[in-house]
Amino acid sequence: MSNVNSTRRLWLIGGTTESAVIASAISCNISCLVSVTTVSARSLYPFTPNLQVWIGTLKPQELEEFLLLQNITAVLDASHPYAVEISLNAISATQKLKIPYLRYERPAIDDSSVINVASFDTLLSSDYLRSNRVLLTIGYRALPLFQPWQAKATLFARILPSAKSLDTALNSGFTADRLICMRPPISVALERSLWQQWGISLVVSKASGTAGGEDVKRLVAQQLNIPLILVDRPMVNYPQQTNDVTVALEFIKLNC
């Protein structure tokens, strides 16, 4: 028998594996609306009466009305570390409506054996890529930034299996033989095999934590003695932030 209070509802900004863990933990007794941007991300979440998955994107001007119409009393932001726009918009809307907001972010990995760069601009203004066989595991949105480097390096990319990802990659100068479409998680053995198959000499990824496969890339880079460049997470001034699931669950319990 559910003990959901229908007047209190959580908005869980999702699309990540850690958001799925949280959704599973609360789905029996908390009314929760999870938002994701792709149909494929729906499969991350359980099918329960208390959990609704909303698929799509929200414009900044739509957020306040969305929060009110959905009867949201608290927001837990567990979006991807690089999904800055939705985080900033959610912070702004919740502050205006005085709705509690908490950012849950996967822990960063502390290791000095990789090369950290502050941004894609920093990377592309340097000479790291020149004459290298570079594997980009950065998502599809940043691929157009690398188009000027197609003539100065041999670029490969791993992207999600979606039409939008593939179209963006092809329009950014990547040929079909330098693309692979795969959905995480990716094993150490498969990661290593791909790097060896393509003769990769440099890998560029995001500092996305263990949930984003960063630990696997670090391990394979060490095994194959291949430099790994990580683009730092964007800096966002979150009102409240934690990387402790217990704290996130307490926040939900208190506000929903």
The answer, yes or no, to whether residue 214 has pLDDT greater than 80, is yes
The answer, yes or no, to whether residue 165 has pLDDT greater than 90, is yes
The answer, yes or no, to whether residue 15 has pLDDT greater than 50, is yes
| Cα distance between residue 54 and residue 75, in whole Å | 14
Q: Is the dihedral of CA 75, 72, 99, 61 positive or negative?
A: positive
pLDDT-derived band of residue 82, with 50, 70 and 90 as boundaries? confident
152 shares a domain with 214: yes
224 shares a domain with 152: yes
Token code pair at residue 31 = 């009314």
Q: Which range, 58-62, 102-106, 141-145, 160-164, has the best average confidence (pLDDT)?
A: 141-145
Burial class (CB in 10 A: 0-12, 13-18, 19+), 150: middle
Half-sphere exposure of 156 (CA within 13 A, CB side): 20
Encode pLDDT of 111-145 as tens digits.
656 899 999 999 999 999 999 999 999 999 999 99
E-assigned strand segments in the chain: 9-13, 32-36, 51-55, 72-77, 101-104, 115-117, 133-137, 154-159, 179-181, 202-206, 228-231, 241-242
Domain range for 146 is 115-231
In a domain, 2, yes or no: no
Q: Do the Cβ atoms of 103 and 19 come closer than 8 Å?
A: no
157 shares a domain with 68: no
132 shares a domain with 194: yes
Largest CA distance in the chain: 63
29 shares a domain with 103: yes
pLDDT-derived band of residue 166, with 50, 70 and 90 as boundaries? very high
Lowest mean pLDDT among 17-21, 36-40, 106-110, 230-234: 106-110
Amino acid 211: pLDDT: 67
Instruction: Identify which of 150, 115, 116, 107 has the alpha carbon closest to the alpha carbon of residue 130.
Output: 150
Give percent of the chain with pLDDT exceeding 90: 74
The answer, yes or no, to whether residue 6 has pLDDT greater than 60, is no
In a domain, 68, yes or no: yes
Q: What integer is the mean pLDDT of 42-49?
A: 90
Task: Specify the CATH number for the domain of residue 29.
Answer: 3.40.50.720
246 shares a domain with 155: no
The answer, yes or no, to whether residue 198 has pLDDT greater than 90, is yes
| Cα distance between residue 189 and residue 157, in whole Å | 18
Sequence-ordered list of residues with C-beta below 8 angstroms from that of 122, at least 6 positions apart, any chain: none
Task: Specify the CATH number for the domain of residue 120.
Answer: 3.40.50.2000
Amino acid 112: pLDDT: 57
Q: What is the pTM of this model?
A: 0.67
Q: What integer is the mean pLDDT of 99-119?
A: 83
Amino acid 41: pLDDT: 86
The answer, yes or no, to whether residue 74 has pLDDT greater than 70, is yes
Amino acid 5: pLDDT: 42
**Number of domains into which the chain is organized:** 2
The answer, yes or no, to whether residue 4 has pLDDT greater than 80, is no
Amino acid 3: pLDDT: 40
